[in-house]
Structure 1
Amino acid sequence: MQNHHEYPIDVRWGEMDALGHVNNTEYLRYFESARVEWFEGMGSHLVGGEVGPVVLKSTTLYHLPVIYPNRLKVVTRVERVGNTSYTLAQQLRGRDDDALYTESDLTCVWVDRVTGGLFPLRIFCASFWLSACRVKINDHGRNCCRANLSIIR
């Protein structure tokens, strides 16, 4: 099983700014598009559902400027799954040379859109996160996915 998701991107001319490189806001859109495709590919419907992901914190480090034309990929990995939050690591890399352009760490929560509260990840951990992370560890040192399989059986 692959422990990450790759999302291909072909840089468009219109993503360049006056400084001659892709504007930094586009990098964040690349990351967002990759997360959306990944979640939807695992069966999560982000629009219209009663629960969904929200980015709580994002830290982005820019290593190299992206210049048109370029073929990129966003690599997304699950770093940690806790009781109500999870951490993703995303990298923007060259598809042809694997150069690292940008990396971002995100802490996200799953929100109950009806109540506005946090949605416990263990409720759908086995059906969703197991396909994403297989053996990630929560804050208490237990494997979140395996430890909570019994609640949905």
Structure 2
Amino acid sequence: MRIVIPEERKLVHEMILPIRWGDMDAYGHVNNTVYFRYMEQARVEWITSLGYEVAPGRESMLMMNGFCNFYKQLSYPGDLILKTSIGTIGRTSMDVYTSMALSTAPDEEAAIGGATMVWVDLTTNKSAPWPEHVLEKLR
């Protein structure tokens, strides 16, 4: 099953990440679980670029679910271009997408995945509306 990626999304961050030798599995390509680590690193870099820490305090942005559509196998060596974009921002959640392409073929997506992120009050462990200071940065 392939998840449909919306055309309407806003690019918010871009980074380069090297593929490591240890990212590969016995088949000689990047293990499918590692793609989720790549997306996680892209989200962490984006969140910290906004001036927020990923270590939880009283409130935080947490991942509710995740997915990845795989298009091409990746292998070591190589550098990935990871582009993070956001979809519609809801009252307490938003969808965050990460596309992955080799730096040697930047227009050919190797994979694209995403996560639903939710703003959570960690004292109650319940979702909460996005604070205005977060919305200002996301807009």
Q: If the TM-score is normalised by the length of the shorter chain, which range does it land in?
A: 0.7 to 0.9
Partners of 2:134 and 2:54 in 1: CA distance: 13
Partners of 2:126 and 2:94 in 1: CA distance: 16
- In the alignment, is residue 115 of structure 1 matched against residue 115 of structure 2? no
Give the structure 1 partner of residue 5 of structure 2: none
Give the structure 2 partner of residue 82 of structure 1: 90
Which structure has more relative contact order (CA 8 Å, sep 6+)? It is 2
Q: Percent identity of the aligned residues?
A: 31
1:25 to 13, 26, 33: 33
**RMSD after superposition:** 1.5
Tell whether the 8 Å contact from 1:80 to 1:88 is kept in structure 2 after alignment: no
Partners of 1:51 and 1:5 in 2: CA distance: 22
Give the structure 1 partner of residue 137 of structure 2: 131
Q: Secondary structure at the match of 1:45?
A: coil
Mark the runs of 5 or more structure 1 residues left unpaired by the alignment: 135-153
Q: Secondary structure at the match of 2:15?
A: strand
Which 4+ stretches in 1 moved above 3 angstroms? none
Partners of 2:135 and 2:45 in 1: CA distance: 15
Tell whether the 8 Å contact from 2:58 to 2:122 is kept in structure 1 after alignment: yes
Tell whether the 8 Å contact from 2:87 to 2:94 is kept in structure 1 after alignment: yes
Cα shift at 1:4? 2.3
Give the structure 1 partner of residue 54 of structure 2: 46
Q: Report Cα offsets for 1:60-96 as digits up to 9, x if no partner.
A: 1100010111110211101110001111111111122
Q: TM-score w.r.t. structure 1 length?
A: 0.78
Letter in 2 for 1:94: L
Cα shift at 1:17? 0.4
Mark the runs of 5 or more structure 2 residues left unpaired by the alignment: 1-9
Q: Secondary structure at the match of 1:61?
A: strand
Q: Secondary structure at the match of 2:105?
A: coil
Matches within 5 A, 1:57-96: 57-96=65-104
Q: Secondary structure at the match of 1:20?
A: coil
Q: TM-score w.r.t. structure 2 length?
A: 0.85
